[in-house]
Amino acid sequence: MIFGYGSGASIFLCTRVVDLRKSFDGLSGAVRQYLGQDPVSGAYFVFVNRRCNLMKILVWDRHGFWVLAKRLEAGRFRMPQRGDTAGTGGQILPWEELLCMIEGIDLSKVRRQKRFSSDFSGKFLTKAEAAPIL
């Protein structure tokens, strides 16, 4: 298993407070209880403690669970300010937002620039152009 960009796996952030003394079994139970997801799906499940200075990521690969942990010696993780979208207690995160959380970038102060997306929704580059973005 490689933890890297472009893995194609979904990333779920648990927005409920979880006791991060838990490890493999406790976190997989939290995935089922709070996120309503299957912990062996291959998705990344991100948990942050109440003080927002400890993060754990649970992921399943072909043979078992991985738990990745990061404890901040100073500062706090900034949680995204979106609603609950992953079930009863979580939200789906884009890969870039997870990296920003890990690196300490406060997304509430960042403005995303307009970019091309391969997800065609019938939008055109400009009103003068007749060809859609493909």
> Per-domain residue ranges for the chain?
11-109
Structure tokens at 7: 């893995």
For 17, the enclosing helix (H) or strand (E) is: none
pLDDT band, very low/low/confident/very high, at 75 (cuts 50, 70, 90): very high
pLDDT band, very low/low/confident/very high, at 106 (cuts 50, 70, 90): confident
pLDDT band, very low/low/confident/very high, at 62 (cuts 50, 70, 90): confident
**Phi–psi pair at 77, nearest 5 degrees:** -75, 135
**Helix/strand/coil for 48:** strand
Nearest-angstrom CA–CA distance, 30 and 38: 10
Nearest-angstrom CA–CA distance, 41 and 69: 20
Q: So what's the pLDDT on residue 134? A: 41
3-class SS string, 56-93: EEEEECCCCEEEEEEECCCCCCCCCCCCCCCCCCEEEC
- For the chain, give the percent of residues with pLDDT over 90: 48
Strand order in the sheet with 65-71: 65-71, 54-60, 44-48, 11-14, 90-92
Lowest mean pLDDT of 23-27, 40-44, 113-117, name the range: 113-117
Q: So what's the pLDDT on residue 90? A: 87
Mean pLDDT for 42-59 is 94
Which residue type is seen at 48?
V
* Pairing between β-strand 44-48 and β-strand 54-60 as defined by DSSP bridges: antiparallel
**pLDDT averaged over every residue in the chain:** 81
Structure tokens at 20: 């991060």
Lowest mean pLDDT of 6-20, 61-75, 115-129, name the range: 115-129
